[in-house]
Each structure stands twice: as structure tokens, then as C-alpha cells.
Amino acid sequence: MMSIAQALFTFAVCFPYARAAELPSKSTTVGALLVGWGLSMLIFGILCLQTWLYFSRYVTDSPWIKVLVSLLWVLEVGHQLAIGHACWRYLVVDYGSLIAILTEKTVASLGAVVILGVIVGTMVKIFLGWRIYKVSGRYEWIVIVSLLALAQMALGIAFAVQSVTLTVDRLVILTTLPTIALSLGAATDVIIALVLSFYLHTMRTGYQRSERLIDKLIIFSVNTGALTSAFSLSVAILFRLMPDNFVFISIYFLVCKLYSNSCLATLNSRRVSGRGRDHESRSYSSSHALSFRAPHRASNVPVNVAAIKQAQSVICIGVHHETEIAQDHESIPSGRMSNQEVERPDKYDQSASW
């Protein structure tokens, strides 16, 4: 019979090879982590550009919206730093050792990535719920959206706290929490897109200008909701199918930044197409004087002296221009319309108040 010492020696020699046969490939672990970090940096750069555009163009916005944008950017900075720390740990400190990566406890920065991500997602969803309220005038929608977003945030924080106490290869026992949280987030995104599109559709007036604007708003809302919900569902599906690698984590890196960018894109797109610059509305007028003098008359033509004096006087024709410039949806001008259009009803003016 094999002695205990020989058995232990055989196990010590064979275990690394048996474990290596079960390990996922580097392309789906550290490789996926590196790709996710690079894509998140790219989207973070776009977010920084959108933040700069917002503060440079919309200086007259409400203070609470400026606070929202500032908080989103600060949270995204922390989110990106947490991603960088996790990548440093797994790509540099544990370089080349998949066994160490999978058998060590999940690095705390990954838990921070999840917590910051659900906080950002909740803030953006509540803001979108406020948009629905501004369009529909119904408080219940912002309450429903807020409750769904807060429920997802609670589940996400619970998963993050539990995940840092487990090794990466043991995260499979927590698949229920993130699956419910991500599915709830995707459902909330779909609800927001559908409800907002419905109320925008009910505000059609039949006039070409308003129809074009409402069509663009509906398309933008649907595309935004479809993109974020698709990424959330992708993370949930990949986590259930491949919980022992980092593919789902690399995609989750992008979800948070998609929410922030969608919020900034919503704020920065508050411009009537082809019109406006920086302020909500502005009117200006200019007058140009055109001078004319009476032409020279022959000396033998009898003229009226009073008429000559009147003709010799300078005739000033005042040309008055009044231009309305509208830049965001919060203030749609209701000034002069063309001959083919009539004054728009108050209902349409409210449709762009968000």
C-alpha cells in the first residue's frame, strides 16, 4: 500500500496540474479585465468632454442640475480609480498567476466599483423619472422609478459587501443577487423609455416643426434605454454562464459610464436643431437707416416748392429685425411664426420643459 507520505507527495505534485486544467484562459480573465479598463477609459474621456461642454454652454441652468452633473463626474472619477486599482492588483501584483487571482479574496476595489456604479445608476434613473414628471405632470412615475432604482442600489451594495469576503472562484454562490439587481435595472430602463416615449407621442400637434422635435426626442429616449438595458442584461447573463472569469466584470465597467454619458447627453442636447447658441432664449433687434434724396429736376419743369423741400429732406426708413434664438428645450420660443404656421399651443410648449 502507498504510504501517507507518498500520497501527500503525489497530491502535491499532481494538484497544480489538475487545477491548471480547470483554470479559465488568460484571455477571459486578465485579458478581459484589460480590455474593460481600456474601454472604460475611452468612455470616461467622452464623459469629461460632455461635462466640460455642459458647464461651458449652460451657465444659466438650475443649481441642482449643476450639482447633479458635478456629483456624477466626481463619482465617475472614483469609479475609474477603483477600476485602475483592481487592474493593477490582478495584472501587475498577481501577474501570471491565475491560481492566485482565483483563490485570493476579491479585491476591495472591485466592490467599490459595484457600489459606485449602482449609486450613479440610481441618480441617473431618478433624474430620468423627473423628466417623465415634467412631461406628464404625474408624480407617481417619479415615485415608481425612484423605488425601483433604490431597490436595485440596495441589492447591488449587498452583493458588493458579500463579494469582498469571497474568492473570485466562489462568487458563483452569489449569482442570485446580481442577477435580480441587473434585471431590475434593465426593466427600469425599459419602463423609463416606454413611458417617456408615450407621453411625448401624446403631445404631437400636427405641425412639422414640433413633429420633427418630438420624433428626435422619442428616438433618443428609446436608444438610451435600449443601450443601458442591453448592457445590464449582458452582464447578468455572462455572470450566470461564466462566473469564474472576468468577462462580466469588464462589461460592468462600462454600464456605469453609459448611464452618466446618457444623462450628460440628455442635458447637452437641449437645443432646437439648427438654432441657438448658449442661452435659453435671446432676442435682439437692429435698425438700419436707408437714405434717399429726390432726383435732379430740369429747371423748366414747374414744381411745387413745398414738395421740393419735402423731397430734399432725408427719408429714413427703419428696418426692424427681431430674431428669436432658442437653445434648449426648457424654453421653446413662442414668437412670430411664418405664414405657413400658426401659433403653437401651450401643450407643445410644455413638452420640452424638461
Tell me the backbone φ, ψ of residue 315, rounded to 5 degrees.
-100, 120
Closest CA to 269 of 189, 331, 328, 349: 328
- Cα separation, 10 vs 153, in Å, equals 48
Our CA angle for 239, 245, 248, nearest 5°, is 40
Say what the pLDDT of residue 305 is. 45
The answer to whether the beta carbons of residues 134 and 354 sit under 8 Å apart is yes
Say what the pLDDT of residue 96 is. 65
Report in angstroms the alpha-carbon separations of 316 from 289, 293, 307, 322: 6, 10, 17, 19
Ordered by where they begin, the domains of the chain are: 24-268 (1.20.1070), 281-351 (no CATH)
Say what the pLDDT of residue 346 is. 42
- Cα separation, 211 vs 246, in Å, equals 45
Say what the pLDDT of residue 116 is. 96
The residues, any chain, with a CB within 8 Å of residue 267's CB and separated by 6 or more, are 54, 58, 61, 65, 69
Split the chain (354 residues) into runs of 10 and give each run's mean pLDDT. Answer: 45 43 65 90 95 92 93 96 91 74 80 95 94 88 94 94 81 83 92 89 78 80 86 90 83 93 88 42 35 43 46 40 42 40 41 43
